Amino acid sequence: MSKKTKSFLYNLIGFALFFIPLQLVLTRFTNLTGLWIPMTAFVIGTILAPKFQAIRTKDGEKLFMKWLFIKGVKEIKS
């Protein structure tokens, strides 16, 4: 599996781990209705989810992660 594919899957999983619970919490504990619930969960999930990116370097393709709760950019060993 290529690093680009891994970064896409990691981004998708990371976003889903925030989006789905947020949508359930917003439905249960707020007065939001209609499209406001998934739109709000989408915006918050996008901000909170870690971002993964595959970058081609002179040493080959590498996978990096940046997250709001971690300082700096971290290389993912895979």
Predicted confidence (pLDDT) per residue in 9-47, tens digit: 999 999 999 999 999 999 999 999 999 999 999 999 999
Cα 58 from Cα 52, distance rounded (Å): 19
Q: How far apart are CA 76 and CA 24, in angstroms?
A: 31
Rounded to an integer, what distance in angstroms lies between the CA atom of residue 13 and that of residue 16?
Answer: 5
| Tokens representing residue 19 in the block | 């989006």
Q: pLDDT tens digits, residue range 63-77? A: 999 999 999 999 998
pLDDT digits (tens, 9 = 90+) for 44-61: 999 999 999 999 999 889
Burial class (CB in 10 A: 0-12, 13-18, 19+), 38: middle
